[in-house]
Amino acid sequence: MSYDAIVIGSGLGGCGAAAALTGAGKKVLILERLDVIGGRCSTSKSRDGFRIDIGCHHLFGCEHGAFEKAAKLVNRGGVIKFSHPTKLTLLIHDKKIIIDGDSITKTGGGADEIIINLAELIKQTNKFLPPKMRQLSYAMIGRTTPILGALLAPLTRKLDNVSIRSMLEKYMDWPMIIDFLELLQFAGWGTPSVMTPVSEGIRTMLGFSECFEYGMGVREIVGYPIGGLGTIPETICEGVREMGGEVRLGAGVKKIIVEGGAAVGVEMDDGEVIKAPIVISNAGVKETVADLVGEEHFDPAYAKKVRELIVGISCFCIRAALDTKLTDNEGLFVVPQKDTLGYYDKLWNQKITPPGMPAMMWSVPSNYDPTAAPEGKQLVYFVGPLMWGSSEPWNKPEQDAIDAMELMIPGVKDHLMWYEYLTPDTYAALGEVGSPAIGIAQCIGQVGEDRTSAISPLKGLFYVGAEVGKNMSGIGTEMSTRIGLACGNYIVKNSDLTGFGKLKSTATRYIGAAPVIKAFKTANDMP
C-alpha cells in the first residue's frame, strides 16, 4: 500500500493536516498509538453511564472555526454539532459574577464590586439592530480582520517582548480584575503573565474575530461538541477513511526513517516499515526531534533550541459524578486567591503548591450535552494548575479543590457518586515531555517569529499542533486544528508530493503587506 503522507497522531493538529491533504486528493495514513482517536481531545471511556473526555470542555470557534473547515474538506460539513452556554458563573475572590443569557448579575459586596448593566445595553442595541443587521455587523468584523491584522502587525511584533503583567501594572489599578486576567491568560497560554507577551492576546483576538465572518454570534464564541470532545477528531477521521485514507489505532511509531537528510517513512513498534514522501508529526516537536527522529539528524544548534523550549503548565483534573442535578451552570472560572502573581510564582518558580483553594476552570458537560450523564444525574469537571516539576505530591490540592467545588455547587459533597482526581500523569501517558496540559508555552521568546516553524529542517518532515507555526497563535484545540490545516495546505500548494521541486526549506514569513492574520484567512503559506 502506498501513501502520499503519513500523519503521526490523531490529535486535532494531525486531523487538520490529514483533512487538508485528503481534501486535495492525497492518500493519507493516520497512525495513532492509543486505542482511541483524538489525543488530548478524545472521548476515552464510559463509567456508570457517564461519558468521559480527555482535555478541556470550553472550546472556541466551534461550528464557525477551524473544526468545521476541516470537516468540510472531508465532506463532513455540518456533522459536528455544538451546544453553547446559557449560564456561566465566575468567582473572583468573594464575588460571584453570573452570566445568564444576555444579563450579568453579581453577588457579594465590597469596594471592588463589579457593576455591569449589560442586559440593558444589549436590549437597547437590539432595538436599533435587527437580527439581519447584527449578522451583517458581525460579518463586517470578520472581513475587516485582515486589514486590522496588517495594520497591527508591526505593533504586534514589538509587543512580542512585552509581558502582560507589565501592561496590567502600568495601566490598571484594579486588583480583582488583574487576578482574573492572570488566571485567564494562564489557562490560555500556559505561563505566568510575567512571561506571556501582550502580542498573544492581540493575535488570539484577531483569530476569534475571523469567525464572525462565518456567522458566529457573540454567545457562540464558546461551546462544547454534542457527543463529547472525541466527536471532532472522530468525524474528521471518518471523512478521511471514506475519501480513501486510512486510520490505524494501537499503531505506535518507533521512529521516523531518515535517508539522505529526508524523512522517507516510519518504522512501527512491531517492526513494520511504511514509506511515504511526507511525514507529519502531531507527537510534539520535542518528542519528534529527540525520540522519533534523533537529534543526530539535525543541526546541533537547532536540536539544542528545540530541547530547551519551555513547556507550559500542567494540571490536575477532578471528574465528579453526581447522583442528581445540582447546578444549571455550564461553569467557567474560580479565582479565590488574591495576589495571583504570587500564587503562580510559587507554582512556576518555587515548584510548590500554594495552600488554600486553587484557581480553576470548571465545566458541566452534561449541561452542555445531556447525553454525557444518565438521566437525572450530572457530570462536573474542575481543572486547576499543577506544575509538572513540583517538589510536592501532586495530590496536595485535592481536598482544597473539592472544597472549591462545594463553594461553586453547594451540595456536591453530599451527592458524589464517585470522583477521579487526575494528575500530570494523564499527559505523561499520552507521551508528552514534561506532562504539560498546554504543550510548548506561548511565552516571550517562543511567539511570533520566535515560534518553531512547522517545517522541519529535514526534507519531507513537518510538525503540527498548537506548539508550532511562526506568527500563529490562539488557544488550544482550535489553534491546533488551524495549524494542521495550514500545514496541509502549504504542502499541497508548494509540493508535487514526489520530487519536492517547489517545496521551500524555510518558513514563509509574514512581513511587509502580508498581514499576520493571513494565517487565519487562507492557511496556504505555512509559517
pLDDT, position 28: 98
Query: How would residue 433 be classed by pLDDT, with cut points 50, 70 and 90?
Result: low
In this prediction, what percent of the chain has a pLDDT beyond 70? 84
Distance CA 228, CA 250 (A): 21
Asked whether residue 278 carries a pLDDT value surpassing 60, the answer given is: yes
Select the more confidently predicted residue: 96 or 302.
Answer: 302
224: which strand partners? 83
Q: Which of the two residues, 135 and 22, has the higher pLDDT score?
A: 22
pLDDT digits over 316-338, tens only? 999 999 999 999 999 999 999 88
pLDDT band, residue 21 (cuts 50/70/90): very high
Region for residue 71 given its phi and psi (left: phi exceeds 0; alpha: psi -120 to 50; beta: otherwise): alpha
Identify residue 514 by its one-letter amino acid code.
A
More confident residue, 262 or 181: 262
pLDDT at 138 (0 to 100):
62
| CA–CA separation, 340 and 361 (whole Å) | 15
Q: Which residues have a Cβ under 8 Å from the Cβ of 121 and sit 6 or more positions away?
A: none
How confident is the model over 185-213, as a mean pLDDT? 85
Q: How far apart are CA 41 and CA 174, in angstroms?
A: 36
Q: Which of 16-25, 133-142, 216-225 has the lowest mean pLDDT?
A: 133-142
In tens, the pLDDT along 105-148 reads 777 765 555 555 555 555 666 666 666 666 666 666 666 767 77
Task: Give the three-state DSSP class for 28.
Answer: strand
Region 217-244: mean pLDDT is 93
| pLDDT value at 101 more than 50 | yes
Helical H segments across 64-174, by residue range: 66-73, 118-128, 131-158, 164-171
Can you tell me the distance from the alpha carbon of 487 to that of 280, in angstroms, rounded to the nearest whole number? 9
Residue 508, pLDDT > 50, answer no
Q: What integer best gives the mean pLDDT of the chain?
A: 85
Averaged pLDDT, 399-424: 94
pLDDT band, residue 509 (cuts 50/70/90): very low
By C-alpha distance, which of 60, 58, 64, 78 is closest to 216? 64
**Selection from 20-24, 193-197, 314-318, 386-390 with the highest mean pLDDT:** 20-24
Quick: pLDDT tens for 461-491. 999 999 999 988 888 899 999 999 999 999 9
Q: Rounded to the nearest 5 degrees, what angle is found at the Cα of 83, between the Cα atoms of 145 and 140?
A: 20
102 contacts: CB under 8 Å, gap ≥ 6: 118, 119, 122, 123
> Residue 524's pLDDT is what?
37
**Beta bridge partners of residue 331, listed in sequence order:** 363
Alpha carbon distance 446, 439 (integer Å): 12
pTM equals 0.89
CATH of 5-81+225-309+441-521 among 1.10.3720.10, 1.10.1740.10, 3.30.200.20, 3.50.50.60: 3.50.50.60
